[in-house]
């Protein structure tokens, strides 16, 4: 799965939310740093070339939809992050968040409970 730019990822979030959309629909959902219509269209076509988006043609107009699910993208993103930043160790990742105080003892206990239920 090819890595997305921040702008491409933001547009994918809109497409995941809308499920199917014309460029004008995606544009209407963007609240900050709204790109020009043609710029947005170009980005969506790049997403299509990368295999993230498909479309249905209605004359010269295209209705776009995500091919890659949000869950599949998240899984790939997390696996890459864990590999690149935590030496492919989930323990190192959880330790990092614990040291940074981004995860509480209560949340850690909930994670342990989930692991024990699945084993």
CB 40 within 8 A of CB 11: yes
pTM of the model: 0.81
CB 43 within 8 A of CB 50: no
pLDDT at 98: 86
CA angle 37, 38, 39 (to 5 degrees): 90
pLDDT at 10: 96
pLDDT band at 119 (very low <50, low <70, confident <90, very high): confident
Tell me what the pLDDT averaged over the chain comes to. Answer: 93
User: Hey, what are 18's tokens?
Assistant: 């809308």
Question: What residue ranges do the domains of the chain occupy?
Answer: 6-66, 70-118
In the predicted model, what is the mean pLDDT of residues 90-101? 88
Which of the following CATH numbers is that of domain 6-66: 2.60.40.10, 3.40.50.300, 1.10.10.10, 1.10.287.610? 1.10.10.10
Task: Find tokens 């209560």 and name the residue.
Answer: 106
pLDDT at 52: 97
pLDDT band at 6 (very low <50, low <70, confident <90, very high): very high
Measured between alpha carbons, how far is 16 from 7 in angstroms, rounded to an integer? 14
């Amino acid at each position: 799965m090819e890595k997305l730019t921040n702008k491409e990822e933001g547009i994918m979030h809109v497409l995941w939310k809308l499920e199917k959309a014309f460029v004008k629909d995606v544009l209407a959902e963007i609240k900050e740093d709204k790109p020009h219509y043609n710029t947005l269209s170009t980005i969506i076509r790049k997403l299509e070339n990368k295999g993230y988006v498909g479309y249905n043609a209605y004359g010269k107009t295209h209705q776009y939809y995500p091919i890659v699910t949000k869950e599949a993208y998240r899984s790939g993103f997390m696996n890459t992050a864990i590999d690149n930043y935590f030496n492919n160790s989930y323990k190192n990742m959880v330790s990092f968040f614990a040291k940074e105080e981004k995860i509480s003892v209560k949340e850690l206990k909930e994670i342990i409970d989930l692991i024990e239920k699945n084993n």
